[in-house]
Amino acid sequence: MRLTIAVCDDEGYFRQQITQTIQDELALRGCIDNTINTFSNGQELLQNPKQLKEYDVLFLDISMPGENGMQIAEKVKQLNEKIILVFITSYIDFAVEGYRVNAFRYVLKNSLNTGLSEAVGAVFQQLRIRKKELIYECLEGTCAIEVPELYYVESRRHKLRLNIKNNAVYTMYGKLDDLEEQLNAYNFIRIHKSFLVNYQHIRSIKNYILTLDNGVELMIPRERYRQVKEQYYELRGGLQ
Amino acid sequence: MIYIIRTLALTLVEVLCCRIFFDTFLKRRTLEHHMDKVVLLGLWGMMFGAACITGMVWRVLVVVLGTFICTRILYNGSFIHVFFISIAEYTLNLMADSIVVFLLQFILQVDVKRSLPENTLIMIMCKLLFLLCVLACSRYFHHIGNLSYIPDKDWCWLMVFPILTLALIAGMLISQGMMALMLSAFGLLLANFLFFYLVQDIIKREMNIREQQLGEIQARNQMQLYQSMEANYEEQQKKIHDVRNQMECVRGLLEDKQDSKALEYINHLYGTWEKEGAFINTNHAIVNSILRQKLIYAEQKRVQLVLEVQDLSAVRMEDEDLVIILANLIDNGIEACERLKQKQRVLKLRICLVKNELQISTQNAIEGQVQKERGIIVTSKREKRKHGIGLKNIHRIVEKYNGEDFIQYGTDYFTHTIVIEQ
């Protein structure tokens, strides 16, 4: 996996520290060929919107002269909705604005190494799933689906219906058990003998009904209900 | 055959009484691989063998010597001490026998040399009196054992059972036929009632202790919260004082017409204020306060607390309950992390409101297997008294709100999730 990373901090020392720690942590996970660009302020970062759209993750200092990190983050999010934001801060400062830009982590400068180590690990895990491309021979032809795009799989009369974003469906021959084994590493939950659901898209599980974030509702059998809930909350508990 | 079974049963009672008696006066050795049980089994066999010897002198010699050898293996103590205790135990046993025979023969006028079943009843009485004596010794001479902790009232309750049994057997020996049966039936009825009240009393006391422990924890949590709030207030007061001074300074500069310097000073102040906004804002005062306090605590314990929180202004829970859940969850997590290597000391906490559902979860790495006792997870705290209290407290509150509690763990992680409808 190859990552494109941006680091924005007004202090050169921290820029270098952050870059070095990210490189070390990614190397530990066997991820070597990455691009890391550094910026000393928000203006510099925002001046190339095309490049900004390419970044997978942004490590951003909150307190910088001129525009602060939070303001920059809002602009970055408008240009690159998918970008993962990791705030670097000198003080414990979890403000409500952080939720608006969907901050992934806040890392304290006084524990930069341990904080970044955890954050990079979590980012890596997130991107590992996000960037994984599944290639299947479907009735519609060969299709490549990124894991986050796949909402759920339904087994119907020896065929598997892959329900992806925008309510599109691909159909292929196969067994749900085999697909479950293959998708096990990407946090899929078997809620029914005929349904395999991507945990990332589960909005709620209530009264034996699982609701996906695209509004689709799926029934969970009584005998599986507790187990499905346990699996779901176990994955949720691990944070992102 | 009946004789053998009777002798086996009675000698087993003697061995058990022996154990209690020696526990009262001597300190146990730590033996490996159930060695103690093997020795006790040997003692039982030896006592059974002795019971078959007809010569009184030989029987006494075998019992005392056998008891002495077993006691030396099982307990610490000097040669003389152990020997003396062995003799004392046997003497007590004989005394109990003699007292029963004396009482029956001379006071109640019962002929002790009768048929096997009646003779067995007398033997049971002897052993019961022996047990009573041994228990009394344990109660009054043992300073570490469990019996010394029993209050006098309960002690009396407990003693009622052997005394009642003694009285019943004596009654059965005196009376005949139906009368004896009636007597024993009434006695059993009475014992049932006594047992019921005793159990009820124990449960009541247990509940009181539990309540007291819960109260202590609640008080501690509240105290921590108030301390944290007080610290916030003091900090605020300090800030107000600083701001007043800084304003005075700005006014001075403006009065001296040093506008640019005043502006520069104001800009400098903005910079410092921005940096000083060290707080976690979830739009919920109690959550903010706990998180702030626990972040500091985690830092002291060198545990990295990773938070995922959001706007929690819509959370509808009593402050006290929220404090108990959060404080216990975080404390449990930090405690587990403390046993790990520095790099693994990460505690993830997530507090989110999803579709009117409050989800609070913690996840941390663990070392080794999660310990369970009768299906309930126990902590490895050194203070045994507080075992599992935190988890019980959480369960109690989750139940109060009709919520759900999920605990999952593998070989290297532990996740605890609480889901409460809002």
pLDDT tens per residue across span B357-394: 899 999 988 877 666 655 556 555 544 444 456 787 78
Selecting from B307, B355, B415 the residue whose C-beta is nearest the C-beta of A238 gives B415
Cβ contact (<8 Å) for B295 and A63? no
Supply the pLDDT for residue B371. Answer: 66
- A124-128, B158-162, B222-226, B275-279: which range is least confident on average? B275-279
Q: Residue B28: which pLDDT band, with cuts at 50, 70 and 90?
A: confident
**Closest alpha carbon within chain A to B283:** A96
Supply the pLDDT for residue B214. Answer: 75
Residues of A in contact with B310 (CB under 8 A): 99
Other C-beta atoms within 10 Å of A88: how many?
Answer: 26
> What mean pLDDT comes out for the span A184-199?
91
**pLDDT: is B144 or B160 the higher one?**
B160
> Chain A contact for B341, CB < 8 A?
no
> Chain A contact for B274, CB < 8 A?
yes
**Residue-wise DSSP of B313-345:** TT--S-HHHHHHHHHHHHHHHHHHHTTS-GGG-
Q: Which of A97-101, B64-68, B101-105, B263-267 has the highest mean predicted lDDT (pLDDT)?
A: B64-68
Q: Residue B142: which pLDDT band, with cuts at 50, 70 and 90?
A: low
Which residues face B351 on adjacent strands?
B309, B360
**Residue-wise DSSP of A41-55:** SHHHHHT-HHHHTT-
What whole-number distance in Å separates Cα of residue B191 and Cα of residue B198? 10
- Which helix H or strand E contains A137, and what residues bound it? strand A133-138
Share of chain B above pLDDT 90, in %: 3
Cβ contact (<8 Å) for A114 and B343? yes
Q: Residue A59: which pLDDT band, with cuts at 50, 70 and 90?
A: very high
**Site from A96, A101, A187, A189 to mutate, B interface, most B CB atoms within 10 angstroms:** A96
Q: Residue B277: which pLDDT band, with cuts at 50, 70 and 90?
A: very low
Asked if the model's pLDDT at residue B158 lies above 80, the reply is no
**Site from A63, A70, A93 to mutate, B interface, most B CB atoms within 10 angstroms:** A93
Other C-beta atoms within 10 Å of B118: how many?
Answer: 16
> Chain A contact for B335, CB < 8 A?
no
**Closest alpha carbon within chain A to B299:** A111
pTM above 0.90, yes or no: no
Cβ contact (<8 Å) for B406 and A92? no
Supply the pLDDT for residue A126. Answer: 86
What whole-number distance in Å separates Cα of residue A74 and Cα of residue A97? 9
> What mean pLDDT comes out for the span B45-61?
84
pLDDT, tens only, A43-55: 899 998 899 999 9
Q: Residue B265: which pLDDT band, with cuts at 50, 70 and 90?
A: confident
Asked if the model's pLDDT at residue B270 lies above 50, the reply is yes
- A230-239, B15-24, B70-79, B327-336: which range is least confident on average? A230-239
pLDDT, tens only, A145-164: 888 899 999 999 889 999 99
What is chain A's length?
240
Cβ contact (<8 Å) for A94 and B363? no
Supply the pLDDT for residue B386. Answer: 47
Cβ contact (<8 Å) for B304 and A68? no
Other C-beta atoms within 10 Å of B376: how many?
Answer: 12
Selecting from A63, A90, A233 the residue whose C-beta is nearest the C-beta of B417 gives A233
Residues of A in contact with B307 (CB under 8 A): 94, 106
Selecting from A90, A211, A238 the residue whose C-beta is nearest the C-beta of B363 gives A238
**Closest alpha carbon within chain A to B272:** A63
pLDDT, tens only, A64-92: 878 888 889 999 999 998 899 998 887 66
Asked if the model's pLDDT at residue B147 lies above 60, the reply is no
> What mean pLDDT comes out for the span A112-141?
87
Distance from CA of B266 to the nearest CA of A (A): 15
